[in-house]
Amino acid sequence: MPDFELLRKTSAGPFETVNEALGARAGKREPALSFEFFPPRNQEEAADQLWRTFDALMEVSPDFVSVTYGAGGSNRETSLAIVERMAKEIMTIGHLTCVGGSRASTAETISRFEDAGVHSILALRGDAPKDSPRALVDGELKSALELVHLVRQTSNLEVGVAAFPEVHPESPHMQHDSMVLEMKQSAGASYAMTQLFFTVEAYTDLVASAKMAGATLPIIPGLMPVGNAAKVVRMAEMSGATIPVELLGKLENASEAEARVIGMDYSIKLARDLIDAGAPGLHIFSMNFSKAALEVARGAGLCR
């Protein structure tokens, strides 16, 4: 477990770690609320958009936030600068990928995350970047499991990992993913966050399969609000998530404005169903926009 005393000295916001936030919320029988952001490419406008969104989402008192990281470390400095600024206001998770990295360079990045005030790392393998297709073969670190070990060996940071309600694209079946999840838990991971998905059953099946494999760590569902249907359909294709045929049919036959209403109603119902099914929190993918993220958080009764 992380050295919580050491973490306590440097944190912002009411909670020191994701597990602490989940525990406190569970004590009050309510789910945690968190948001994900991504580091914009260097245009000023996109950076303004990110910080406007961050400020708007902070208004509803989330428990923590997370910031993604480009596989291969292409946006390392931007990601670090963003987590450093956010961590001054709220407990911030830094996503970190290890694909293509050496142990030494990745350990240095972990230390920089720690110095930036991050208390928790979401340890990910990442996928080979387009301009570096051999990264998975040539890199020293081959899997997120190795990264979990490295974070635990070289820092006091809490570690989370990814989970896949619709099975990781390279995995033969869910039981395999669940076995890997259990190995990450044994290596020191203490929570998981999921890829986007669109049915409550996908989440409950994942949790059941994980438990069967001995992976009892809290699994926080990642929820993508269906605000912009075209964008979400693209994201689903990229991540391998299946949009239910009925929802897809309704979206395809609707005007843009109607599609938004249909999509947001669907997302809010999914959020409520996940909470009813016992999810410990909701991690909303903001895509650096606040409107749809806030609608889901409010619709699910999570704004405090």
Ligand X SMILES: Cc1cc2nc3c(=O)[nH]c(=O)nc-3n(C[C@H](O)[C@H](O)[C@H](O)COP(=O)(O)OP(=O)(O)OC[C@H]3O[C@@H](n4cnc5c(N)ncnc54)[C@H](O)[C@@H]3O)c2cc1C
Give me the residues that bind ligand X (CB under 6 A), please. 68-69, 71, 95, 97, 122, 124-127, 143-145, 162, 168, 170-171, 176-177, 180, 183, 193-195, 222
Contacts of 236 (CB under 8 A, 6+ apart): 196, 198, 224, 242, 243
- Residue 54, number of CB atoms within 10 A of its CB: 21
Q: Which residues are catalytic?
A: 36
Closer residue to ligand X, CB minimum distance, 33 or 122 = 122
**Cα three-residue angle 22-65-218, rounded to 5 degrees:** 30
Contact between 296 and 260 under an 8 Å Cβ cutoff? The reply is: no
Closer residue to ligand X, CB minimum distance, 94 or 251 = 94
Q: What is the largest CA-CA distance in the chain?
A: 55
Backbone angles phi, psi at 275, to 5 degrees: -65, -45
Closer residue to ligand X, CB minimum distance, 225 or 259 = 225
Cα separation, 37 vs 69, in Å, equals 10
CA distance readout (Å), 11 to 7, 84, 118, 165, 242: 7, 11, 8, 32, 38
Contact between 32 and 280 under an 8 Å Cβ cutoff? The reply is: yes
Closer residue to ligand X, CB minimum distance, 98 or 268 = 98
Minimum distance, C-beta of residue 291 to ligand X, in the bound complex (Å): 22
Closer residue to ligand X, CB minimum distance, 122 or 284 = 122
Minimum distance, C-beta of residue 145 to ligand X, in the bound complex (Å): 5
- Residue 52, number of CB atoms within 10 A of its CB: 13
